[in-house]
């Protein structure tokens, strides 16, 4: 039985022309799937349409073409089935941390009594490590704490899918690392399905099961999908010691530095946007066999194994 949860087919986005100008197609014929419980990151240069894709998945923007199917239903607008966390925390400044989370909980369960709402809020505040800060307003919280409230609020509605648009981009490196660890723990505990935008290669390797690489815009595509073959119980402190780590990292950096531009100018002759190639650089360079589960995956066919 397929574990396919989200299916994106033929997605495109064209912005109408300004007076006297030409219409701009940011991305076109974007196709990918996400399995239930999978953590997927998307990486690409500015202007390739990553945030627009996320907004379409969230139902906050309309695609010019194509379709998004989540849990066998077409996405046709915002829904509490999808929780969104943006780079800015978007908290209501007059409410405490707990009441910000409660606002979302009451939207999800409007008939829940006060005790039930309080129990749900406290559970997720504890989960993101904010116990003791429940009654502070956003002005009394650090940037990292505000983002934790935003993450708690998104998880508290128990969405079927979590959408993260560079949620840690404005944080210092130490705070970012701490919240990454919290996110890993939460996703492990809840088996949450996640789609995340990031510009940070190391963040993608730490968090993701698959990393989608977008070519440069306009007219961007999903150039390839990199399978993160590192064990799921990853740690920021030890991940670099795994023999698969640097092959994956080098592959991602090489794409961003040179191959993304080359792909835009001249895609490979065998490239099919309906089936972006699935690649496993970590296994290739570490000299490890490709697991049977990958060969039989419901994700796009394994087109090639990359060696660098």
Which residues of the chain form CATH 3.40.50.300?
4-81+160-295
Mean predicted lDDT score pLDDT of the chain: 86
- Summarize pLDDT for 177-204 with one digit per residue, the tens: 888 888 888 888 888 999 999 999 999 9
Beta-carbon count within 10 A of 115 CB: 8
Token pair for 241: 């010691």
pLDDT exceeds cutoff 70 at 139:
yes
pLDDT for the residue numbered 169: 77
Strands 4-15 and 24-35: antiparallel
pLDDT for the residue numbered 291: 54
Cis peptide before 218 (omega within 30 of 0): yes
Token pair for 164: 């993260």
pLDDT exceeds cutoff 90 at 69:
yes
- Summarize pLDDT for 223-252 with one digit per residue, the tens: 999 999 998 888 888 898 899 999 999 999
More confident: 34 or 24: 34
pLDDT for the residue numbered 302: 37
pLDDT for the residue numbered 292: 53
Per-residue pLDDT averaged across 27-32, rounded? 95
Q: Which long-range contacts (CB under 8 A, 24 or more apart) does 87-94 make?
A: 87/165, 87/166, 87/167, 87/169, 87/170, 88/170, 89/138, 89/143, 89/146, 89/147, 89/149, 89/150, 90/150, 91/138, 91/146, 91/149, 91/150, 92/138, 93/137, 93/138, 93/139, 94/137
Would you report the helix, strand and coil content of the chain in percent, each value rounded to 5? 35, 20, 45
pLDDT exceeds cutoff 70 at 17:
yes
Asked if the 4-81+160-295 domain carries CATH number 3.40.1210.10, the reply is: no
- The C-alpha atoms of residue 162 and residue 73 are separated, in whole angstroms, by 16
Phi-psi region of 10 (alpha: psi -120 to 50; beta: other; left: phi over 0): left
Strands 210-214 and 222-227: antiparallel
What is the reported pTM?
0.87
Token pair for 216: 């440069």
């Amino acid at each position: 039985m397929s574990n396919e949860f989200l299916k994106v087919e033929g997605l495109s986005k064209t912005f109408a022309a300004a007076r006297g100008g030409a219409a701009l197609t940011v991305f076109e014929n974007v196709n990918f799937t996400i399995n239930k419980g999978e953590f997927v990151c998307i990486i690409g240069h500015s202007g390739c349409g990553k945030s627009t894709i996320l907004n379409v998945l969230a139902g906050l923007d309309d695609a010019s073409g194509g379709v998004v199917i989540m849990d066998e239903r077409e996405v046709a607008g915002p829904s509490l089935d999808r929780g969104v966390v943006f780079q800015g925390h978007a908290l209501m400044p007059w409410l405490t941390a707990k009441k910000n989370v409660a606002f979302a909980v009451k939207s999800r369960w409007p008939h829940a009594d006060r005790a039930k709402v309080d129990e749900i809020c406290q559970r997720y505040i504890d989960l993101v490590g904010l116990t003791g800060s429940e009654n502070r307003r956003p002005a009394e919280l650090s940037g990292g704490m505000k983002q934790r409230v935003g993450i708690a609020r998104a998880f508290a509605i128990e969405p079927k899918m979590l959408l993260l648009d560079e949620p840690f981009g404005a944080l210092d490196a130490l705070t970012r690392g701490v919240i990454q660890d919290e996110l890993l723990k939460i996703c492990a505990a809840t088996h949450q399905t996640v789609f995340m935008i990031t510009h940070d290669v190391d963040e993608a390797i730490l968090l993701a099961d698959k990393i989608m690489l977008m070519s440069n815009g306009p007219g961007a595509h999903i150039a390839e999908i990199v399978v993160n073959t590192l064990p799921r119980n990853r740690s920021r402190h030890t991940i670099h010691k795994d023999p698969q780590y640097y092959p994956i990292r080098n592959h991602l950096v090489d794409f961003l530095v040179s191959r993304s531009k080359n792909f835009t100018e001249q895609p490979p002759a065998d490239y099919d946007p309906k089936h972006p190639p699935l690649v496993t650089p970590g296994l290739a360079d570490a000299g490890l066999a490709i697991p049977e589960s990958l060969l039989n995956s419901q994700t796009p066919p394994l087109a090639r194994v990359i060696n660098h």
